Amino acid sequence: MIDFSGIKTPVYFYDLDILSRTLALAAGEARKYGYRLHYAVKANNNDVIAGKIKDYGFGADCVSGNEIRRVLDWKYHPEGIVFAGVGKTDEEIKLAIENEIFCLNCESLEELEVVAEKAREVNRRVSVALRVNPALEANTHSYITTGKDENKFGVGLPHLKNALDYCKNSPGLDFAGLHFHIGSQIISLEPYRNLCKKVNQIWREFDIPGYGGDMLNLGGGLGIDYCEPENNPIPDFKSFFALFADNLDLPSRTSVHFELGRSLVGQCGRIVTRVLYTKQGVGKKFVIIDAGMTELIRPALYGAMHRIVNVSSSASLERYDVVGPVCESSDVFARDVLLPRTSRGDLVHILSCGAYAESMNMDFNLRTKPGSVFASEGKIVAEEK
Ligand SMILES: *Cc1c(COP(=O)(O)O)cnc(C)c1O
């Protein structure tokens, strides 16, 4: 049991052993099929975490110019960097071209025109992929589906031929292939099976090899177990990659890429908080902790559930609403959860906070940014304030 007595809370806590085991499994399973992996940096841009992921040989998936700068600072190889995003600015496109990253994933004809123009300006060729909106249901929260007709992402199938022709006829553009990313926190493999079928169909119907396309990027989105993270700390990468190997039917020279975010880092992190107050409300009891939506916005943003444990008490169970200190009624982590009888000063951990917690931290209410601590073999090995 780690000693948090000298640690200022709230704090982002990372278990580097869980991270290593996760990375080793993902990299090992992908290697069986020659799949290439990129880390979706927006999930967690903490230096220690991102550095370790690079050390396991991952490329990077960036969604802003600043993320590209950052991953270059961390010494990710330019040839492993992909750049996605529905609204890339001219400056960001130029930065990507000048640094000769692996591929820009473009999302509209207008964007392709700007990319071609910027490539001309700096007299370089640029490798582009088209992000396709495959009009598929990912069966996840509506705020984190990205591959349906109504979503803003990607080139719709009715416009794909036009975009492919534009790539072919633009001397500065090297068409690499197609990119898909259908959503996040996808916990059943069924949407991915459907994605494979759709990709096989599109590859043939649009004759992607005929356009010189031999790169397929399937994005990320593999979910993690937020209900029982202790029993299920590492996602089933074996089944995940095997599903693609079994269901994709493409020319053998096609190089297949993935962009994993949450599934790599989600379970290695937790937020360690202290109870500030307990309060008897009308008809319910509140536990008020020192972390709020500013440290973890997922519950307020998408109604996400995180497992919460009181590690200081083993008294009999009582029902509480666990809430933060921020001046918003949505600053609630859980309603009517059972915790051992809880008192001021108890340490409460919010589990599965390695992804989309620290990277979405904000200073609303001018709250202080928490530090991070890193542990291995049951001991704290590094601390960032
Ligand atoms: C966010 C994002 C990812 C990673 O998604 P996860 O659900 O965290 O795996 C991958 N690709 C693109 C284009 C993204 O925007």
Tens-place pLDDT, residues 350-361: 999 999 999 999
In the structure, what pLDDT confidence band is assigned to residue 142 with cuts at 50, 70 and 90? Answer: low
Average pLDDT over residues 247-251: 98
Average pLDDT over residues 299-316: 96
Is the pLDDT score of 101 beyond 70? yes
The finding on whether 259 has its CB within 6 A of some atom of ligand 1 is yes
In the structure, what pLDDT confidence band is assigned to residue 146 with cuts at 50, 70 and 90? Answer: low
Is the pLDDT score of 378 beyond 80? yes
Is the pLDDT score of 265 beyond 90? yes
Is the pLDDT score of 137 beyond 90? no
* 3-class DSSP state of 147: coil
Q: What is the pLDDT of residues 198-232, one digit of tens each?
A: 999 999 999 999 999 999 999 999 999 999 999 99
Is the pLDDT score of 144 beyond 70? no
Q: Cβ distance 137 to 89 under 8 Å?
A: no
pLDDT at 82: 98
The strand pairing partners of 382, in sequence order, are 374
* Lowest model confidence (mean pLDDT) among 134-143, 272-281, 286-295, 348-357: 134-143
Q: HSE of 372 in the Cβ direction (CA atoms, 13 Å)?
A: 21
pLDDT at 269: 98
Nearest alpha carbon, ligand 1 atom 8 = 261
Ligand 1 centroid from CA 41, angstroms: 9
The strand pairing partners of 289, in sequence order, are 275
Average pLDDT over residues 8-19: 98
Task: Evaluate the CA torsion angle 132, 134, 135, 140 in order and state its sign.
Answer: negative
Is the pLDDT score of 141 beyond 70? no
The finding on whether 261 has its CB within 6 A of some atom of ligand 1 is yes
Residue of 2 and 362 predicted with greater confidence: 362
pLDDT at 150: 72
Domains of the chain (ranges, CATH numbers): 16-264 (3.20.20.10), 267-384 (2.40.37.10)
The finding on whether 219 has its CB within 6 A of some atom of ligand 1 is yes
Average pLDDT over residues 326-347: 97
The finding on whether 133 has its CB within 6 A of some atom of ligand 1 is no
Q: Which atom of ligand 1 is nearest to the CA of 38?
A: 10
Cα–Cα distance for residue pair 40/44, rounded to 1 Å: 8
Q: Which atom of ligand 1 is nearest to the CA of 146?
A: 15
Which one-letter DSSP state was computed for residue 164?
H
The finding on whether 181 has its CB within 6 A of some atom of ligand 1 is yes
DSSP for 263-298 reads HHHGGGEEEEEEEEEEEE-SSSEEEEES--TTT--H
Q: Which atom of ligand 1 is nearest to the CA of 183?
A: 7
pLDDT at 96: 98
The finding on whether 40 has its CB within 6 A of some atom of ligand 1 is yes
* Lowest model confidence (mean pLDDT) among 95-104, 143-152, 166-175, 309-318: 143-152
Distances (CA, A) of 209 to 7, 34, 47, 129: 56, 19, 38, 13
The finding on whether 42 has its CB within 6 A of some atom of ligand 1 is yes
Beta strands 269-280 and 36-40, pairing class: unpaired
% the chain with pLDDT above 70? 97
